[in-house]
Amino acid sequence: MATLKLIGVSKSWGRGAPVVRDVTLEVADGEVVTVLGPSGCGKSTLLRLVAGLEQPDAGTIEIGGRPMNGVEPKDRDVAMVFQSYALYPHMTVLENISVPLRLRGASKADAARKAAATAERLGLTPLLSRRPRDLSGGERQRTALARALVRNPQVFLLDEPLSNLDALLRESARSELKSLFRSLKATVLYVTHDQTEAMSLSDRVAVMRAGAFEQTAPPADVYRSPATAFVAGFIGSPRMNLLAGSALGDGAATVGIRPEDVLVGEGEREADVVLVEPLGAQQLVTLRSGPLELRALLPAAAPVPARTRFHIDPARVHRFDAAGIRM
């Protein structure tokens, strides 16, 4: 594997605003970094720039210390797994996995042997003779991943590879991917809009907004100490309560409090319970106290009267200035 570096990378379409704005990022050898952000923030474009499918307007991309600007995709030694999987419908699973090796001049027998070994690693051996139309979504995803793995590239690029799977299958696929990345000691740049994927899979998360990174840090740091109000509101489920500072008598422009940090049933403030949403082991309770409305997370068995008290520990309040920067 190798280190991936992006230094001041920008990309625009025509005369429009930049889709990627002055992005700098280093993915260390063997590190998994996830680019997380809402649809349209530029994260897939960033991945395509690394793959060589697009060329940057400014900045430098390096893989293993070698500048990639102007280098053809086939010469970058990266493997990309697309959201759509991009499998050849007329080929079997074995043939799909073999394609990268055959394109690089491997004999049919050697390519088949290596493809079969990679397929076994991902539990695809019983499916080698099937075609994509005969596979489930999870099996197609694993086939696309095997095709990327088979030639042992320097860098793996994954563009929302789990988005087409149902919720149950996504959970098991996340576990499989994490174990696989660890065993390979792979250098991975992973793009998603799903914060659960980002938080569970990554060594670091780069939160993207409007083409630029708002914060790049380990998942726990992004959650506990969001660098901006945008990150605070984007990370966390249920999402953070973001309020005007004046609502809590605070001097900050914006204050944030996680629902799990709102203490219900105690404290000096009274509130009406306007909504209770069962979430399995927990329940999300919406409180209204005059003009103030916020959500609290409670155990499912906790009693919730129509009117209650609540308390907010000042030490657990996140504060942001008028520009949305953490204070």
Interval 229-268: pLDDT, tens = 999 999 999 999 999 988 888 889 999 999 999 999 888 8
Calpha distance 94→115 (Å, rounded):
6
The confidence score (pLDDT) of residue 31 equals 95
Q: What is the DSSP letter of 165?
A: S
User: Strands, E, within the chain: which ranges?
Assistant: 4-12, 18-27, 32-36, 58-63, 66-67, 78-81, 155-159, 188-192, 204-209, 212-217, 241-244, 254-257, 262-278, 282-289, 292-299, 307-312, 318-320
The confidence score (pLDDT) of residue 142 equals 84
Calpha distance 82→205 (Å, rounded):
20
Considering the entire predicted model, what is its pTM? 0.88
The confidence score (pLDDT) of residue 33 equals 96
From the list 290, 294, 287, the residue with the least C-alpha distance to 258 is 294
The confidence score (pLDDT) of residue 123 equals 82
The confidence score (pLDDT) of residue 161 equals 80
Whether the Cβ atoms of residue 111 and residue 96 lie closer than 8 Å to each other: no
The residues of the chain that CATH labels 2.40.50.140 are: 243-320
For residue 291, the tally of other CB atoms under 10 A from its CB is 9
For residue 46, the tally of other CB atoms under 10 A from its CB is 30
Q: What is the DSSP letter of 77?
A: -
Calpha distance 229→15 (Å, rounded):
29
The confidence score (pLDDT) of residue 1 equals 67
The confidence score (pLDDT) of residue 275 equals 96
The confidence score (pLDDT) of residue 181 equals 83
pLDDT < 50 positions in the chain: none
The residues of the chain that CATH labels 3.40.50.300 are: 4-231
In CATH terms, the superfamily for domain 4-231 is: P-loop containing nucleotide triphosphate hydrolases (3.40.50.300)
Please provide the distance, in angstroms rounded to a whole number, between the alpha carbons at the two ends of the chain.
39
In CATH terms, the superfamily for domain 243-320 is: Nucleic acid-binding proteins (2.40.50.140)
